[in-house]
Structure 1
Amino acid sequence: MSDQNEFSNHSIEELKQKQKKFKAIQKVIMILCLITASIAIAVSIWKETSELYPVIGLMLIIGIAYPIMAFGPMQKKIQAELDSRQGI
């Protein structure tokens, strides 16, 4: 396995843009998850049913864990590449 970072061929400006893009995507996914879970909670309370509770839990777990697991390592690699170029 290569020790070279997959982002080493990009310029610093490209890396900063990608980092901002990944953070924005991560925030959008989390916000949409919270909105969807809130709607499901409201419907569950309004209809006085507990059938949606497992779905709400899964929605929150997936909506929060997936963006962190998917975009977190990419952001760390980008930051590592930026740090290595700036000599930090």
Structure 2
Amino acid sequence: MGQLGAFGWGVFASALVPVIGFGLNWRGATKKAAAAAIISSLLINGGFVVYQLMGFRIAYGIAGGAIALLVSTTLFVGLSLFSKPDPLPRDIEEVMKL
């Protein structure tokens, strides 16, 4: 049961923290980067669950969700920096200026 909780929180944190944290506060964030970050975090977390179910352990007891969070955040920022920002609707643009 503890593994299921750790997996759930790992998926939640790694999939949503970069997208919500950066996406709501940074005009340079893009939809493609958000989608890539979410998909990568789901795949990485799922891969680590399978890896651990096969009897292997991650070095130093690091949680798979922490690795997925690092990768998805890096991917989100990197893809956003190297892609053209999506145009924002006028009302959203006004809120972002606050």
TM-score range, shorter chain: 0.3 to 0.5
What's the TM-score once normalised by structure 1's chain length? 0.42
Larger radius of gyration: 1
What's the TM-score once normalised by structure 2's chain length? 0.39
